[in-house]
Structure 1
Amino acid sequence: MTAPAQPLPYAGSLRRVLSLPALTLFGLVYMVPLTVFTTYGVVTQVTGGRTALAYLLTLLSIFFTALSYSRMVGRYPVAGSAYSYARKSFGPMAGFLAGWSLLLDYLFLPMINYLVIGIYLHQSFPQVPAWGFIVTMIALVTVFNVLGIQSVSRFGNVLVAAQLVFVLVFVALAARQIMTQTSVDLLAPWQGDGSAIGMAPVLAGAAILCLSFLGFDAVSTLAEEAREPHRDIPRAIIITTIAAGLLFILLAAISQLAFPGSRFQHADSAANEVMQRIAGPYFVSFFTASYVAGAFGSALASQASVSRILYSMGRDRVLPHRVFAKLSQRFNTPIWSILVVSLCSLLALVMDLSTLASLISFGALVAFSVVNLAVIKSYLLDGKPHPFSAWLRYGLPAALGFALTLWLWTSLSALTLQIGLAWLAAGMAYLLCLTRGLRKAVPTVQFDDSES
């Protein structure tokens, strides 16, 4: 056995400036209230018009995992999310692999925002190529993130408000459209149009929709920038999950009622067809403006989160310390981590929406599985006797979260599993190099909750 590595010092710390409302809004910005339309066409075709039902199943599955995240962040209020929880529960090697999996979805989530921005803006302004919009947005998001988390939080709040205004207008106009129809099947969002039979397509859609809920665990990455992390982070996680899930279900159901069926001219931008049906071309323009603003806000939040994942791993010297653990002296932000994320985001120029969505869900499900197991390990398998009530409080929700996550695993496509497992294999290879064939312990850092 190898001796545990000694804690390594690190310079600098993040600022504790975020309150509960700011944390909750950060999660909603990250998830994007209008993200239901990102994969609406794809999932509607897969499920045969049962996107609302797929969202309901996803919310039920994610809720128990959200409880697990709230438990872990209450015990370990540090940056790093599932990476930190796995490292502290199962050791640094398990932490590395969890962090490596997180990189898959966190690195790709900014990409999917840039990609949909390019798709929708190019449809509105066909004279400008999609890549031009993508590159411009990457540059703007990078600048805001370098300036600091407060600029991200404040700007994101404005974007959430704009999206909520659109949601209210959309619901009102969609209700008017539904009432003008000669016949309305209120069970259509739950029963579908018959083009996909059984629950297997719904589960496949639910597996894709995991990416819509990534905002709740993104909140946990800001534990070192929250004023009261032990209290506010768990609350923000639960509030964000439930509020966003109910909103997704509502928007998906209303969209299905206003635009029955599951066939679109362009599945990637099916939302435009829904908006055209509801209120015509001007409303399509309103939707595009609101949606692009939301995607921009999500890109802001997702890049902020992944840069802090890289910062945490770099600070532990799991990734190159001189690059990823460096804080800007002027802005006190992980500047090099932010720039690395921006460079990776350029892959949005060559990847398609369906592949990105599936790969993000793969990384999310790995992280969800690890965190549910970490709750059981940290709270119940610590070598101490625990009353039955503790097993009900901590063990049962975590076990349900893990079981439901495994259920979603079975619905991922073969291609997604192949690419995801290849990513994990690459991470294992890097880990073997880092530890010289497991002969050297992975370096760790002791986090101090009182750092401010």
Structure 2
Amino acid sequence: MKENTKLARSLSLPSVVVFGLAFMAITTVFSTYGIASQLSHGMVAGSYILALIVMLFTAYSYGQMAKEYPVAGSAYSYAQKAINPFVGFLVGWSILMDYLFIPMVNYLLFGIFFSAAIPEVPSQVWIIGLLILVTFVNIKGVKLAARANIIVIAISILFILIFCILSIKSILEGTGTGIIFNFEPFFNSDESFSLIVAGAALLCFSFLGFDSVTAFSEETINPKKNIPRGLILVTLIGGFIFVVVSYLSHNVWPDYLSFSNPDSAAYEIIGLVGGNVLSTTFLVVTAFVAFGSATASLASASRVLFAMGRDGQLPEKFFGKLHTKYKTPVNNIILISCLSLSALFLSLTLVASFINFGAFFAFTFVNISVIVLFFRNKTDRSLKGIALYVVIPLIGALLDLWLLVNLDKYSLMLGIIWFVLGFIYLLFLTKGFRNRLPVIQYKESG
């Protein structure tokens, strides 16, 4: 590896966890609660537990691959090295939908919330302002981004803590169910378990971003230990927060059919337990979370492009170049920010529909990569080895594939179009698969 293509190791385990939580945007539990509540007939907490179990299987496989290949590029690098460079390219191309469009979603949400609060200022002004700030922070380097995300996560957790305390107080005063310990948010014997499954299929999207920490493998201290630990911690912490908030929300407002608007159900619940002050605070917190998620997702996307550029699968002189001072992929950061300007005229629904396909496609192949490595390396053929490196990732792959094929028709349609475009580019790049894709030979640096 050339010296100018080495990323500096500066991230500790806490920094890695903060990046993952910032990408996930833990206050997502509020924005999805109303829809999930109606879909699961009030059993949102149960759906979150099922979704957490599903995501832990894939988080485990990501951890195994991070131990084997502690390099930037995430799912792209794993599939490329474990399965095949062609498969790796298509996985990398697909996951780009996830990484490229998540910053745009956050810019759109920021514009929507603040233009609603201050209608005199157009949403486009808010979008451009946040985009410039996020781009600047990323160019300066992941250490600055990590510090900024610590503030974002701290504010998010503080708000969630206040919400939980006020919710418990309201319940004890007789609001909603009037009881703290209630099993119905997890499972209602009068309802079908299939409703929990339907809710979980939706709420798995709340966990998207836990895998973003693997994109920082080359910038993490002791990545073979800290990246797998970070993956599991991010998934568990996020899942715990989602379950607690949804559990209390149900007990505060058990009638899931009485929301004025399911999309804004959280505002009604927050207003009920904390009044206008807490509702206004929620808008401010959402703005901070949008900044944190956009910062983390832009950082991750720029490093996936860097890995593909460094390998020569995208033009290396542009995508595989690092800033001489900051050691960040500046070209990629600026390119993604320019693409994100599409938030000025695209709708939130259209942008969000792009995200899901690439994520679950990549998750499936990360699980498959663990299985391929097991049979290729021919190590630990004990029952324990088969369970750890075949059975667990196989379950993860099947669950992710199930979620992929059950996406809405728009997500599938747009995802397939993006995939076909990537396949055509791959044909061009390899002259109809006659030429091999260049693959970097990784050597770990301290």
Q: Which TM class, normalised by the smaller chain length?
A: over 0.9
- Write the distance in 1 (CA, Å) between the matches of 2:82 and 2:99: 22
Which piece of structure 1 moves more, 38-47 or 251-260?
38-47
Matched, 1:189 2:182: no
Task: Name the amino acid aligned to 1:30.
Answer: F
Does the CA contact (< 8 Å) of 2:31 and 2:263 recur in 1? yes
Which residue of the other structure, out of 421, 429, 435, is the alignment partner of 2:416?
421
Aligned to 1:442: 437
Which residue is equivalent to 2:276? 281
Amino acid at match of 2:216: L
Amino acid in the other structure paired with 1:329: T
Secondary structure of residue in 1 paired with 2:170: helix
Corresponding residue for 2:12?
A: 19
Distance 1:264 1:431, change over 3 A: farther
Q: Which residue of 1 aligns with 2:391?
A: 396
Cα distance in 2 for partners of 1:193, 1:358 equals 34
Alignment-derived partner of residue 234 in structure 2:
240
Give, in whole Å, the separation in 2 of the partners of 1:328 and 1:98: 26
Q: What residue number does 1:338 align with?
A: 333
- The residue aligned with 1:68 is 61
> In 2, distance between residues paired with 1:270 and 1:312?
41
Deviations 1:288-319 (A, max 9, x none): 11221122111111110110001111111111
Q: RMSD in angstroms over aligned alpha carbons?
A: 2.2
Q: 2:297 and 2:12 mapped to 1: Cα distance?
A: 19
> Structure 1 residue 342: deviation in Å?
0.8
1:355 CA displacement: 4.3
Q: Which amino acid aligns with 2:389?
A: Y
Q: Which amino acid aligns with 1:340?
A: L
Q: For the Cα contact (< 8 Å) 1:73–1:220, is it kept in 2?
A: yes
Q: Is 1:206 the counterpart of 2:200 in the alignment?
A: yes
Q: Report the CA distance between 1:202 and its aligned residue.
A: 4.2
In structure 2, what is the Cα distance between the partners aligned to 1:433 and 1:228?
Answer: 38
Partner residue of 1:5?
none
50, 70, 76: which one pairs with 1:77? 70
The offset of 1:257, in angstroms, is 2.1
The aligned counterpart of 1:347 is: 342
The correspondence of residues 8-157 of structure 1 with structure 2, limited to 5 A, is 11-157=4-150
Q: Is the 1:46–1:204 contact (alpha carbons within 8 Å) kept by the matching residues of 2?
A: yes
1:345-380 Cα shifts (integer Å, max 9, x gaps): 223334444444443222111111000000001123
**Does 2:266 match 1:255?**
no
Q: CA 1:35–1:182 in 2, change beyond 3 Å: closer, same or farther?
A: closer
The 3-state SS of whatever aligns with 1:79 is coil
- 8 A contact 1:145–1:152 mirrored in 2: yes
Aligned residue among 372, 377, 392 for 1:377? 372
Shift in Å at residue 163 of structure 1?
1.3
Q: Structure 2 length as normaliser, TM-score? A: 0.93
**Residue in structure 1 matched with residue 223 of structure 2 by the alignment:** 229
Structure 1 length as normaliser, TM-score? 0.92
Opposite residue 237 of structure 1, the aligned amino acid is: L
Whole-Å Cα distance in 2 between the matches of residues 134 and 365 of structure 1? 28
Which SS does the other structure have where 1:11 is aligned? helix
- Farther off after superposition, 171-180 or 346-355: 346-355
1:41/1:113 CA distance change after superposition, 3 Å: farther
Instruction: Give the Cα–Cα distance (whole angstroms) in 2 for the partners of residues 92 and 55 of structure 1.
Output: 35
Deviations 1:61-106 (A, max 9, x none): 0101100000000010000000000000111110001101110111
After superposition, what is the alpha-carbon deviation per residue over 1:179-215, rounded to whole angstroms, capped at 9, x for unaligned? 2336617345345899xx7455544443333332233
Is the Cα contact below 8 Å between 1:99 and 1:309 reproduced in 2? yes
Contact kept? 1:20, 1:232, Cα under 8 Å = yes
Q: Distance in 2 between matches of 1:42 and 1:427?
A: 33
Unaligned runs of 5+ in 1: 1-7
* Change beyond 3 A, Cα 1:182–1:59: closer
Distance 2:105 2:4 in 1: 33
Q: Residues 320 and 209 from structure 1, CA distance in 2 versus in 1: closer, same or farther, beyond 3 angstroms?
A: farther
The 1-side partners of 2:108 and 2:43 are apart by: 25
Deviations 1:7-29 (A, max 9, x none): x8673311001111111122112
* Structure 2 runs not aligned, ≥5 long: none
How far is 1:259 from its partner?
2.6
